[in-house]
A and B are shown apart, each in its own frame.
Chain A
Amino acid sequence: MTTLDQLRPGQRAEVLRVAASTSLAQRLAEMGLLEGASVRMVRSAPLGDPIEIELEGCHLSIRRADARGVVLRDD
């Protein structure tokens, strides 16, 4: 099972499901992080955390711990 925090910079994957806390999951869902969405790992911050992801052309920053709740489809 791959999760969002495990992607390498530049790697793209499809979202399978989001298992984060309620309010975070809602905020991410409102921004389009839903089942089937294509998400790309852009980079991690200089200190390793948080990470920057790209979602439908929009750049978001979330923490690694939260990204662990975003399960990706294994190819």
Chain B
Amino acid sequence: MALASPPTATRPFRVAVLGNPNAGKSTLFNALTGLSQKIGNYPGVTVERKAGTLTGSDAAIELIDLPGTYSLAAHSPDEMVAVDFVLGHIEGEARPDALLVVADASNLERNLYLVTQLLEADLPVLIALNMVDVAEARGIKIDATALAQRIGVPIVATRADRGRGLPELRVALGRLVATRSVPRPTIAYVEPAALTAGVAALASGAAPAFARALGRPLHRVELLRTLVDVDGHAEERLLKQFDRATLAALLEPARTAAGAMVPLSAIEAQGRYRWIKQLTAGCIERPATPLPNWTDRIDGVLTHRVIGTLVFAGAMLLLFQAIFRWATPAMEAIGSSFKWLASTISAELPEGALTSLLVDGAIGGVGAVVVFLPQILLLFLFLGLLEDCGYMARAAFLMDRLMTHVGLSGKSFIPMLSGFACAVPAVMATRVIEDRRDRLVTILVTPLMTCSARLPVYAILIAGFVPARRVFGVLELPALTLLALYALGIVTAMACAFVFKRTLLRGPPPPFVLELPSYKWPSPRMLAAQLLDRAKAFLQRAGTVILAMSLVIWAAGYFPRDAAMAAGFNAERAAIRAHPAGSGADAIELDAIALAAIDAREAALHLEQSALGRCGHAVEPLFAPLGWDWRITVAALAAFPAREVVVSTLGTVFSLGHGVDEGSTDLRDALASAQRTDGSPLFTLPVALSVMVFFALCCQCGATIATIRRETQSWKLAWFTFGYMTVLAWVGAFATFKVAGWFVA
């Protein structure tokens, strides 16, 4: 058994925070640690690691927030981390010195199940009896003092969302540090004989072989999990060391020694619940007939056949309304402040490479991305609200049937919905899916959902090329086009999921058990903290990856620069300045227009000569079947690392200079007046549609690919996502161009 070294003056006391999902664990953790949190990742797996220092206490205590889990029988990567952390099996992580278990008072028996397992970990345990208000509202009375005495661990009643019970919890944690007393139940747990016999047989039989293979001794908890959890995480880990037949032969004697006719998992659950019943007897008082509670009443409406479906559709509509309309003022403000910054700098600095680097490269590139901050924050606010109040589980409940048609479950719905904001958090949100295949399929198709970064492309092309006609009296054609593009993303994602579930990741449908937690008021503090996190992460990304990409694209579009060509344009400009058209206001304006036209021609020619332009010319034949010329090709190529970049690249390619955003009528006009070499207009409706379909289906996002790699631990899957989406995008754009061509002709 790996015992941690005792805490010293230099090493704080480490307390792991555990609990069932929906027990209010994260809220409590946030309330206890304040702003001291550090967020990272566990090595090798992709579960988020959250740690923070306990505030308001003299003792130096570090709290580590572990993923929510119902039991130590791990079935998902999240649960696996929780178990491994408690036993000290995570590389680079010392074993915790104590455990803080958050238990939902309104569901105490079920929450105590995890407690009974954790009591066997030989660590000091403290229970936070959370959500006492919900329990009281249901008429449930709990005698915490008597219960604490029976279990042999301290219990503190809390209401994490209102900060109640926290001072007492801090004191109890401080006392736990001082005494380090392990649990001493006054009512002992009588382990079912089958489990005791099985573990004993395993300890004297296969355990030494396991220990040699893993390079460390096994804790009794781990032996129990190996014995009981068929196909569980403990067994899976051993399967990496032994082949299936050898492991089966090693486990055989222990499972025979257990001699059970029913599955050991049922025996374990029965044994633990029997103990829980003894522990809680007389300590929990329930009304004879359950009080009608708000959750039941609300659910009667929200999961109602008709009203529930309408409310769901309404919620989704509201979400889109929020992203498209409410975010606009803030986005315009951000856009114009970047424009102001760009124009101030270009007015102050002399023309040249440095100014261009600052204005076109840095400010233009980063500005084009930071503009999305309001949209992203609104979306996260909305999703956070739905999650925090308990509606997300209902959405999974409502949508499960539809998702089963493509072989997924309702649990995939939430990550896919988040994909409308950004695929990066959406891919991370797939962690709630226990089944590996389901999770991988969801990860593979989520980038097809229309993320907010695709919006600007749609916005500018629809405004420019889809006639603002009304159809059926009320619906506007541009809005319908936008809706169709969103639908395209959804339908393609579903179709791909269907195909992947039947080919690459074929497997039986996984079991579906979903808890529908009680509704509660969302906690503003928690939401604010989440939004702050998101904003920080997003701006960090804009300041690093996107800034770097913008600069690379800028350099590729700026160099090499032909000095002779520049001199020629300078001579033209000088000629106009030397011989003005006249002195009247009209004449001055004429000169200005002529000068601007020269600037535009110069920018376009420079770009065509640049590395990026040459690259665009070189691959033009590849994209010509989609109706694109080299300029569209360049914009699409430049957008591969981050699709947001496309608007600013289009701006440069169609020679507008700086400060372009999707609201810009200049860019719209420039696109509309762009011509092919034969003089015909470049952007016809089929071409505009082809570009939009390409952007709808293509995985032009380095961050998504990096996230997929991180989440799946596989470069292969990451590049597969990129590959299949690019092929799909090309084929889709080609088909769109051809079909739309027939209609227009």
Contact = CB atoms under 8 A, between A and B. Distances in A.
Given A49-B401, A50-B512, A56-B107, A26 B410 contact: no
A45 B397 contact: yes
A30 B516 contact: no
A23 B513 CA distance: 11
Given A23-B75, A59-B515, A52 B397 contact: yes
A16 interface: no
A24 B513 contact: yes
A45 B106 contact: no
Given A18-B266, A30-B113, A59-B516, A46 B231 contact: no
Interface string B252-290: 000000000001011011100100000000000000001
Which 7 A-B pairs rank lowest in CB-CB distance, beginning with the nearest?
A24-B511, A29-B269, A47-B401, A26-B265, A59-B516, A61-B514, A30-B71
Contacts of B75: 23, 27
Nearest to B274: A34
Contacts of B397: 45, 50, 52, 61
Interface in B612-653: none
Contacts of B270: 29, 34-35
Contacts of B140: 57
B303 interface: yes
8 contacts: A21-B511, A26-B269, A47-B401, A49-B400, A60-B513, A60-B514, A61-B512, A66-B511
What DSSP secondary structure best describes chain A's contact surface? mixed
Interface string A28-41: 11111011000000
Nearest to B296: A42
A7 interface: no
B304 A46 contact: yes
B720 to A, nearest CB: 28
B401 A50 contact: yes
Interface in B678-726: none
B266 A29 contact: yes
B269 A58 contact: no
B303 A46 contact: yes
B514 A27 contact: no
A32 B270 CA distance: 8
A7 B608 CA distance: 72
B199 interface: no
A52 B516 contact: yes
Nearest to B511: A24
B275 to A, nearest CB: 13
Interface string B93-125: 000000000000011011001000000000000
Contacts of B109: 32, 56
A66 B266 contact: no
**Size bracket of the B interface:** 35 or more
A39 B514 CA distance: 16
B230 interface: yes
Interface of A: 18, 20-32, 34-35, 42-43, 45-50, 52, 56-63, 66
Contacts of B309: 46
Contacts of B514: 50, 60-62
Interface in B299-317: 299, 303-306, 308-309
A39 to B, nearest CB: 13
Given A25-B263, A62-B512, A30 B269 contact: yes
Contact of B73 (A24, A30, A47): A30
Contacts of A52: 299, 303, 397, 516
B670 to A, nearest CB: 49
B265 A22 contact: yes
A45 B400 contact: yes
Contacts of B402: 47
Given A46-B303, A57-B138, A58-B110, A26 B263 contact: yes
Nearest to B73: A26
A10 to B, nearest CB: 11
Nearest to A65: B509
A49 B397 CA distance: 9
Nearest to A58: B107
Contacts of B106: 57
Given A24-B513, A25-B266, A60-B516, 4 more contacts: A20-B511, A31-B110, A46-B304, A52-B299
A34 B113 CA distance: 13
Nearest to B135: A57
Given A22-B231, A31-B513, A57 B401 contact: no
B486 interface: no
B363 interface: no
A31 B73 CA distance: 12
A20 B309 CA distance: 30
A28 B513 contact: yes
B84 interface: no
Contacts of A57: 106-107, 138, 140, 290
Nearest to A18: B266
Contacts of B230: 22-23
B201 to A, nearest CB: 21
A60 to B, nearest CB: 6
Contacts of B465: none
B387 to A, nearest CB: 16
Nearest to A28: B513
A65 B575 CA distance: 83
Nearest to A66: B511
B229 interface: yes
B227 interface: no
A34 B265 CA distance: 11
B398 interface: yes
A41 to B, nearest CB: 13
Contacts of A32: 109-110, 113, 269, 273
A55 B335 CA distance: 53
B42 interface: no
Interface string B111-151: 00100000000000000000000000010100000000000
Q: Which of B296, B299, B400 has the most CB of A within 10 A?
A: B400
A8 to B, nearest CB: 15
Nearest to A40: B290
Contacts of B110: 31-32, 56, 58
Contacts of B232: 23
B189 interface: no
Contact of B265 (A29, A45, A50): A29
A62 B510 CA distance: 11
